[in-house]
Amino acid sequence: ATERTLSIIKPDATGRNLTGKINAKFEDAGLRIVAQKRLQLTKAQAGEFYKVHAERPFFDELTTFMASGPVVAQVLEGEGAIAKNREVMGATNPADAESGTIRAEFAESVGENSVHGSDAPDTAKEEIAFFFSELEIVG
Ligand code: CMP
């Protein structure tokens, strides 16, 4: 079925001017960018977005990093978009990511790993609503 997923191009990638190269990977995989905005999160907003990780040892590092520069939040749409996006991103740790994936090509470490993608339909819905109103998503 046609699905939507939330994608974030992270500060390590925007800082290296990789937005276009990453978007090309999504489009080449058949994902459509149906909403997109560039913004800088506050640390509090990053903490709200990643609240499921609040008890993890890397939470402070993660939220500091996500607030350290611009991000590009986007909604990707397509057949099986959630799984397809996870395939295109590659494993969370770039050391484990398959060649050709975004993280294999561009990520610097498990923390500075260039992209985020929703992991399931319920989180996709919640994460899309964190950044976008329905009016801003044009399929
Ligand atoms: P993401 O898909 O955005 O979801 C949670 C993020 O936590 C994950 O990508 C990683 O970037 C980050 N993360 C996971 N493990 C670690 C770690 N050991 N140290 C720092 N960041 C981590």
pLDDT in tens, 13-25: 999 999 999 999 9
4 lines ligand 1 (CB under 6 A): no
Token digits for 9?
Answer: 């191009």
| pLDDT at residue 88, rounded to an integer | 98
| Inter-residue contact 100 to 87 (CB < 8 Å) | no
User: What is the C-alpha separation between 83 and 17, in angstroms, rounded?
Assistant: 26
113 lines ligand 1 (CB under 6 A): yes
| Inter-residue contact 132 to 35 (CB < 8 Å) | yes
pLDDT in tens, 1-49: 999 999 999 999 999 999 999 999 999 999 999 999 999 999 999 999 9
Atom of ligand 1 nearest to the CA of 50: 5
Tell me the catalytic residues.
116
Token digits for 11?
Answer: 């500060």
Contacting residues for 87 by C-beta, under 8 A, at least 6 apart: 29, 101
| pLDDT at residue 134, rounded to an integer | 97
| pLDDT at residue 133, rounded to an integer | 98
111-120 core/surface letters (b: 16 or more CB in 10 A; e: else): bbbbbbbbee
68 lines ligand 1 (CB under 6 A): no
The alpha carbon of 135 and the centre of ligand 1 are apart by a number of angstroms equal to 30
The alpha carbon of 87 and the centre of ligand 1 are apart by a number of angstroms equal to 17
Q: Name the 3-class secondary structure at 89.
A: helix
